Amino acid sequence: MEPATTGALRYAVRAAMPRARADLADLVAIRSVADPSVEPVSECRRAAEAVQRLLTEVGVGDVHAVETSDGSLAVLGHTPGPPGAPTVLLYSHYDVQPAGDEREWLTPPWELTEVDERWYGRGAADCKGNLVMHLTALRALGQPFPVGVRVVCEGSEEQSSGGLEALVRSNPEAFAAEVVLVADAGNVELGVPSVTTSLRGTGSVLVTVRTMERPAHSGMFGGAAPRRAAGAGPHARDAARHGRRDDRAGAGGRAALEWRGIPARAVPRRGRRAAGGAGPGPRGGG
Ligand SMILES: [Zn+2]
C-alpha cells in the first residue's frame, strides 16, 4: 500500500471530525463509572458494547470483550500488519470518574457541550475523547492499515482495581507490540499535538508511625522524644501532608510538617520535561 501523504491524511481527519464529535457525544452520554455504588453496571456494559461496535466499524479485526479479575470488561482487538511491519498497540479506557454533585458543573456532565470551541463532558478528555482520537486516526488511515494494530480499551482504569494488570500478566501475547501508544495523557498546550514519552506513575503508601500519646515540650524533652512525622523522612512527611485528613494517630499532635518540595533546579531535566508534558492543561481536565 502507498503511504498516505500528510495532506491526504489531514483532509481525511478533517472530513472525519463531524463523525468524531457524534461518537464522542454518544460515549459521553454513557455513565460508565466502574463502581456499582455510583452508577449501574449496565452503563459500563453499554460502553463496552459501543466501543466494540466503533472499533469493528473502523476496521479493527477480532474485536471482543474480556472479563477481567475485577469484573470489568476490557475491549481488545487485533489486525495483523503487512509482513515485516511493526505492531502498534493503542491504549485507552472507557470508564470515567463519577460526576459527583451535578449542580456543581457548569455544563451537564453526561451531555457533550461546546463552549468556546471546546467540548465538555465527563470523560471527554479522560479518556473517551482519546479513544475517539484513535478511531479517527484509523478511519483516516483506511484499510488496509500500514502497520499491525492492537487496541486495548480498559473498563476500570479509574478504579485502580487491577483488572487489566492481571489480564496482561495472564495473557501477555494479547498485548504483544513494538510500540504502545497510551492515549491517556494531555497536550502540553491547547492546539499543540503532543506525544508523552514518559510518565511518573503513582503508588499507594500506607504510613504507620508510632509516637507519644500527646505533644511534649521540645525544650524539656528535645531529641529524645520521637515526633510523629519528623523522624520518618521527607517521603513520609509528604505523605503525611497529603493524608492529613486521615490522621488516625490523633492525640492532639501535629500530623504534618510543611513540605515545600525541592528546588526546581534539583529535578533532573528529563523529569522536569515529563512533568510539564504529562499533566492536563488548565482547562484540559475532565
Ligand atoms: Zn485516564
Distance CA(226)–CA(55), nearest Å, equals 58
- Give Cβ neighbours of residue 204 (< 8 Å, ≥ 6 apart): 160
Q: Given this model, what pLDDT does residue 245 score?
A: 41
Q: Given this model, what pLDDT does residue 233 score?
A: 57
* From 39, 70, 126, 157, active-site residue: 157
Task: Provide the 3-class DSSP secondary structure of residue 180.
Answer: strand
CA of 222 to the centre of ligand 1 (A): 47
39 catalytic residue (yes or no) = no
CA of 265 to the centre of ligand 1 (A): 29
CA distances from 136 to 10, 12, 17, 81, 205 (A): 11, 9, 8, 19, 39
Q: Given this model, what pLDDT does residue 249 score?
A: 38
Q: What sign for the dihedral angle of Cα 257, 240, 200, 192?
A: negative
CA of 128 to the centre of ligand 1 (A): 9
- Give Cβ neighbours of residue 156 (< 8 Å, ≥ 6 apart): 34, 68, 70, 72, 93, 95, 163, 164
CA of 166 to the centre of ligand 1 (A): 18
* From 43, 70, 95, 126, active-site residue: 95
CA of 152 to the centre of ligand 1 (A): 13
Domains of the chain listed by start with CATH number: 6-182 (3.40.630.10), 218-276 (no CATH)
**The three three-digit cell numbers of residue 17, written as one number:** 471530525
Distance CA(2)–CA(6), nearest Å, equals 12
Residues in the chain: 286
CA of 271 to the centre of ligand 1 (A): 20
**The three three-digit cell numbers of residue 130, written as one number:** 482519546
**The three three-digit cell numbers of residue 211, written as one number:** 509516637
CA of 3 to the centre of ligand 1 (A): 31
Rounded (10°) angle between helices 129-141 and 6-28: 140
**The three three-digit cell numbers of residue 228, written as one number:** 510523629
157 catalytic residue (yes or no) = yes
**The three three-digit cell numbers of residue 213, written as one number:** 500519646
CA of 201 to the centre of ligand 1 (A): 12
Angle of CA points 247, 252, 253, to nearest 5°:
75
CA of 91 to the centre of ligand 1 (A): 10
**The three three-digit cell numbers of residue 241, written as one number:** 501532608
Give pLDDT tens digits along the chain (286 positions).
456 789 999 999 999 999 999 999 999 999 999 999 999 999 999 999 999 999 999 999 999 999 999 999 999 999 999 999 999 999 999 999 999 999 999 999 999 999 998 999 999 999 999 999 999 999 999 999 999 999 999 999 999 899 999 999 999 999 999 999 999 988 888 888 888 888 777 777 888 877 777 777 777 776 666 665 555 555 555 555 554 444 433 333 344 455 566 665 555 554 444 333 333 333 333 3
| Beta pairing partners, 74 | 66
